[in-house]
Amino acid sequence: MQRDTTKKFYIVHSWLGVITGILLFIVAFTGALSVFGHNELKIWSHEGIRSDVSEDYMAIESLVRQHVAEVDPEYRDHVRIILPGQSSATSLFIAFEKDVELENGQHEHHVIAYRHHPQTLEQEDVFKGSLMEWFTSGATDMADFMVTFHADLHLGNPWGLVLTGLLGLTLFASVVTGVIIHRKILKELFSFRPLRSLRLLITDTHKVLGVWGLLFHGVIAFTGAFLGLVLVLLVPAAAFVSFAGDQEKLVETFIPEIEPAITGEAAEPRTGDILTAFRNANPELRLVDINIHGWGDKAAIMAISTLGGDTLAASETYEFNAVTGEEQKRYSTFGKHDSVTGSLLDAMYPLHFGNFGGVFVKIIWSLLGIGTALLAVTGMMIWIERRAYGPEGSLSQRAYHRISRFTVGSCMGLVVGSIALFYAQLLLRVDDQSFGFWLGVIFFGSWLAIIGYALAIDNSYKSIQSLFLLCGLMALGVPLANALVTGDALPLAFAEGKMVTAWVDASLLVIGGFLIWASRKLPAERPASSSLKRQRPTPQTSELLEESL
């Protein structure tokens, strides 16, 4: 490739990175946490599901029968049972749905949902309203807050989704241009010179993070762009091209609804027996929800949605005859549409969130996600370093220092805000409806406070050191706060079998210890040997390019 072309790609790579660098860090870091959002952080956030939730399926069946007798027969066409502690539900829900035609000709799902305690199965409340109202009525917790922030930065649909989708595209473009400009990519796999100079340390770290994590960064960027843009752009566009703009028809084609062939012959579904047999046959699967269509008919279908099967698709559904218990079908989310497209669509979500192989894969994905976040930070550092202390750039050194301080505050502030969410989850005493709001106040408030602190301190090295120490101490304090507030001290949690809670606390102790160790190792000021003589005003991109290659 010609040198000029490489230089152009280098410029594109550099500017793409610096424009989106902080946002990429935000999305990548929250992504690394969101991997554990459902269900590890969910379980940690709710005392009711920390220990074993009820798996007494016969008792659940008798509750369903009790509610079936209470509701209007029109609601019995679709019975939904959502089991607690499996994905995002923190209580047992037994819901009955009916389709209502509105005055304007549109359809709306109405629902009656009974909420039961996850362990005692005691009824807690009943919800009546539209399906959409029911979905939005639940209390937000720190796990939901983090996952939603990763998905749309709390800007909602469409702006938030478009923004994160575009960030996925820019990351993908950065990966491609990075590969093009680093022609000696395989030789640089092991090039790490931490003791030569600060600039080499940052540059080598950026390259090593980029090259070894290349496939991951590319996959996460592509799937992130897809997931961000699918609802807002891709579905409407595909519907426009192939279904005359009818989006519902497109969705029905890819995810057809379950429709039992109603016989009119009455028969009692055997929910409890089927669930017990299924659980015994598949002890490794998480049973998320059960949908029974055509309740009371001989041909009623019972569909069990599961997580953790042996395919790449995150979720698999097993269809049974609800009366005889005979297995009829088994398919993934898009598996009914038997095509390559269906398999590709099925792979998008699990490849992005790493939820296709239990905690082991989640840890791998989370660590690689931290790598993506660090890739963005080191890219920013290289950009600033070359302008504040090198020949590039047209602003004053003071201006670049200000950008550097803002970057430090934004990135470290996000880490502080994320750890503050753990405290907020434990200590906030407000009603369910305003819980999400106060989580936001604490998260964004602490983030802004750290940005203010970083901007106020002249020496970025000193502020990074202090903020690492702060993060470390905060992380160490979470298990202590958890022990004081909920009584689940780490040894007790292990002893009582609250393994998820115990492992989250133990992980925070390790992370806290690492951050404190790192704060002691980080320099308190810029190493003198790293200062390059400023050679302005002649920018010599070609020389720097040579170094970077």
Partner 1 sequence: MNSLILLLAVLANIATVLCWHRQGRAGAKARLSFILAGIAAFAISCALLAIPYAWSRAPFIALGLLGLSGWLHVFARPLWLKSSS
For position 530 contacting partner 1 by CB under 8 A, the verdict is no
- Please count the residues of this chain forming the interface with partner 1, following the rule CB under 8 A: 29
Tokens of 172: 């993908």
Q: Which of 190, 240, 437, 517 binds partner 1 (CB under 8 A)?
A: 190
- Taking contact as CB under 8 A, which single stretch among the options 186-194, 256-264, 501-509, 541-549 is the one that binds partner 1? 186-194
Least spacing, CB of residue 378 vs partner 1, in Å: 12
Q: Which of 165, 371, 379, 393 binds partner 1 (CB under 8 A)?
A: 371
Is residue 420 within 8 A of residue 446, CB to CB? The reply is yes
Binding mask 325-354 for partner 1 (x = CB under 8 A): --------------------------x--x
> Which CB atom, from 179 or from 231, has the smaller least distance to partner 1?
179
The residue to which tokens 């279904």 are assigned = 243
> Which CB atom, from 6 or from 372, has the smaller least distance to partner 1?
372
For position 208 contacting partner 1 by CB under 8 A, the verdict is yes
> Which CB atom, from 332 or from 465, has the smaller least distance to partner 1?
332
Cα–Cα nearest to 315, from 341, 279, 289, 276: 289
For position 461 contacting partner 1 by CB under 8 A, the verdict is no
Cα–Cα nearest to 121, from 51, 48, 60, 58: 60
> Which CB atom, from 3 or from 184, has the smaller least distance to partner 1?
184
In the beta sheet, which residues pair with residue 320?
302, 327
Burial 56-80 (b: 16+ CB within 10 A, else e): ebeebbebbeebbeebeeebbbbbb
Phi, psi of 532 (to 5 degrees): -95, 145
> Which CB atom, from 62 or from 282, has the smaller least distance to partner 1?
282
Q: Which of 189, 456, 485, 524 binds partner 1 (CB under 8 A)?
A: 189
Cβ neighbours for 183, distance < 8 A, ≥ 6 positions apart: 1, 6, 549
For position 499 contacting partner 1 by CB under 8 A, the verdict is no
Q: Which of 48, 158, 236, 357 binds partner 1 (CB under 8 A)?
A: 357
Cβ neighbours for 473, distance < 8 A, ≥ 6 positions apart: 512, 516
**Within 198-246, where are the H helices?**
198-212, 214-229, 235-242
For 188, which DSSP code?
Answer: G
Cα–Cα nearest to 400, from 521, 536, 196, 541: 536
Longest dimension (CA), the chain: 88
The residue to which tokens 């369903």 are assigned = 64
Q: Which of 241, 367, 430, 499 binds partner 1 (CB under 8 A)?
A: 367
> Which CB atom, from 269 or from 354, has the smaller least distance to partner 1?
354
- Taking contact as CB under 8 A, which single stretch among the options 68-76, 295-303, 308-316, 482-490 is the one that binds partner 1? 308-316
Cα–Cα nearest to 362, from 15, 100, 39: 39
Tokens of 64: 């369903």
- Distance (Å, whole) CA 431 – CA 418: 21
Least spacing, CB of residue 364 vs partner 1, in Å: 4
Cα–Cα nearest to 120, from 26, 179, 52: 52
Q: Which of 129, 156, 194, 256 binds partner 1 (CB under 8 A)?
A: 194
Least spacing, CB of residue 311 vs partner 1, in Å: 5
Least spacing, CB of residue 178 vs partner 1, in Å: 15
> Which CB atom, from 93 or from 216, has the smaller least distance to partner 1?
216
Cβ neighbours for 303, distance < 8 A, ≥ 6 positions apart: 258, 290, 291, 292, 293, 317, 318, 319, 320
- Taking contact as CB under 8 A, which single stretch among the options 234-242, 304-312, 397-405, 466-474 is the one that binds partner 1? 304-312
Least spacing, CB of residue 1 vs partner 1, in Å: 23
Q: Which of 107, 187, 398, 533 binds partner 1 (CB under 8 A)?
A: 187
- Distance (Å, whole) CA 201 – CA 152: 34
Identity at 67, one-letter amino acid code: H
- Distance (Å, whole) CA 459 – CA 405: 8
Cis-peptide into 39, omega within 30 deg: yes
Least spacing, CB of residue 194 vs partner 1, in Å: 5
Cα–Cα nearest to 498, from 147, 222, 232, 119: 119
> Which CB atom, from 226 or from 453, has the smaller least distance to partner 1?
226
Q: Which of 132, 312, 427, 448 binds partner 1 (CB under 8 A)?
A: 312
Cis-peptide into 158, omega within 30 deg: yes
Least spacing, CB of residue 216 vs partner 1, in Å: 5
> Which CB atom, from 208 or from 474, has the smaller least distance to partner 1?
208
The residue to which tokens 């606390």 are assigned = 505
Burial of 512 per CB tally in 10 Å (0-12, 13-18, 19+): buried
> Which CB atom, from 200 or from 231, has the smaller least distance to partner 1?
200
For 264, which DSSP code?
Answer: S
Least spacing, CB of residue 357 vs partner 1, in Å: 5
For position 361 contacting partner 1 by CB under 8 A, the verdict is yes
Least spacing, CB of residue 360 vs partner 1, in Å: 6
Is residue 79 within 8 A of residue 61, CB to CB? The reply is no
Least spacing, CB of residue 288 vs partner 1, in Å: 19
Site for partner 1 in 209-228 (CB under 8 A): 209, 211-216
- Taking contact as CB under 8 A, which single stretch among the options 4-12, 31-39, 204-212, 401-409 is the one that binds partner 1? 204-212
> Which CB atom, from 21 or from 371, has the smaller least distance to partner 1?
371
For position 244 contacting partner 1 by CB under 8 A, the verdict is no
In the beta sheet, which residues pair with residue 93?
82, 115
- Taking contact as CB under 8 A, which single stretch among the options 29-37, 367-375, 390-398, 487-495 is the one that binds partner 1? 367-375
Site of interaction with partner 1 (CB under 8 A): 187, 189-190, 192, 194-195, 205, 208-209, 211-216, 310-312, 351, 354, 356-357, 360-361, 364-365, 367-368, 371
